[in-house]
Amino acid sequence: MRIIVEFVQMCHKNGVMHSDLKPENFLFANKKERASLKAIDFGLSVFFKPEIALLHFPYEQFNKIVGSPYYMASEVLKRNYGPEVDIWKTEQGVAQAIIRSVIDFKRDPWPRVSDNAKDLVKKMLDPDPKKRLTAQEVLDHPWIQNAKKAPNVPLGETVRARLKQFSIKNKLKKRALGVIAEHLSVEEVSGIKRHFK
């Protein structure tokens, strides 16, 4: 979590809004236990003026609907957003892998999750972008700061089952896209190639 938020913070400090953060866009460099995490797919990224965004508001407003619908912050649909959408997407990506789309803190596995962790999730998913945490505020949050002191409580089979469902869904999605691509006409393929170039 810290590595992902540090990546977001570095992007934002350098005036880059990724715009499509999700678990699929983070890959390990290799299969080793301590492999470094790499961010990929900057295809929807945009540049912004970080000196304005650091003030949190006002900032440059973006109005294109971009990103994966499952991880999209509500303000993207309203066509009025800034780099704070990356914080929503970061947490939504982590949360989706565990809890689907609606957070019910009474539902398994949340009763075993610390109050600090739940507090961080709530603040990262605040629907009001003005109140949502910045990357720096996430890094300063007590749950991140005290991660080494946090108890290592197994979250059980529920989380493992949901992570497996998430993995299967991604494999199915890739296969479905492959089938679609195989059945495109020559004209459709040339149009896609033209757009890509």
* Shared-domain flag, residues 127 and 188: no
Compute the average pLDDT of residues 45-65: 66
* Shared-domain flag, residues 161 and 115: no
Q: What is the pLDDT of residue 101?
A: 43
- Are 15 and 154 contacting, i.e. CB atoms less than 8 angstroms apart? no
Q: 186: which residues sit within 8 A by CB, 6+ positions away?
A: none
The pLDDT-based confidence of 52 (bands split at 50, 70, 90) is: low
Running DSSP on this structure, what letter comes out for residue 46? E
CATH of the domain at 8: 1.10.510.10
Q: What is the pLDDT of residue 49?
A: 81
Q: What is the pLDDT of residue 94?
A: 53
- Are 40 and 20 contacting, i.e. CB atoms less than 8 angstroms apart? no
Considering only residues 93 and 127, tell me which one the structure prediction assigns the higher pLDDT.
127
Q: Is-catalytic flag, 20?
A: yes
pTM exceeds 0.75:
no
- Are 150 and 17 contacting, i.e. CB atoms less than 8 angstroms apart? no
Nearest to 18 by CA among 50, 41, 51, 49: 41
Q: Say what the alpha-carbon torsion angle 46, 87, 66, 168 is, to the nearest 10 degrees.
A: 130
* Shared-domain flag, residues 65 and 115: yes
* Shared-domain flag, residues 40 and 118: yes
* Shared-domain flag, residues 78 and 131: yes
* Span 74-100, pLDDT tens digits: 777 777 788 888 887 776 555 544 444
The pLDDT-based confidence of 73 (bands split at 50, 70, 90) is: confident
* Span 14-28, pLDDT tens digits: 999 998 888 888 999
Q: How many CB atoms lie within 10 A of CB 158?
A: 15
* Shared-domain flag, residues 183 and 106: no
- Which of 20, 86, 108, 119 is labelled catalytic? 20
Q: What is the pLDDT of residue 78?
A: 77
pLDDT above 70: percentage of residues in the chain: 80
Residue 143, pLDDT above cutoff 90:
yes
Q: List the domain range (segments joined by +) for residue 180.
A: 157-196
The bridge status of strand 46-47 relative to strand 26-28 is: unpaired
Q: What is the pLDDT of residue 195?
A: 73
* Shared-domain flag, residues 162 and 111: no
Amino acid at site 32: K
Tracing tokens 């999209």 back to the chain, one arrives at 72
pLDDT above 90: percentage of residues in the chain: 21
The pLDDT-based confidence of 10 (bands split at 50, 70, 90) is: very high
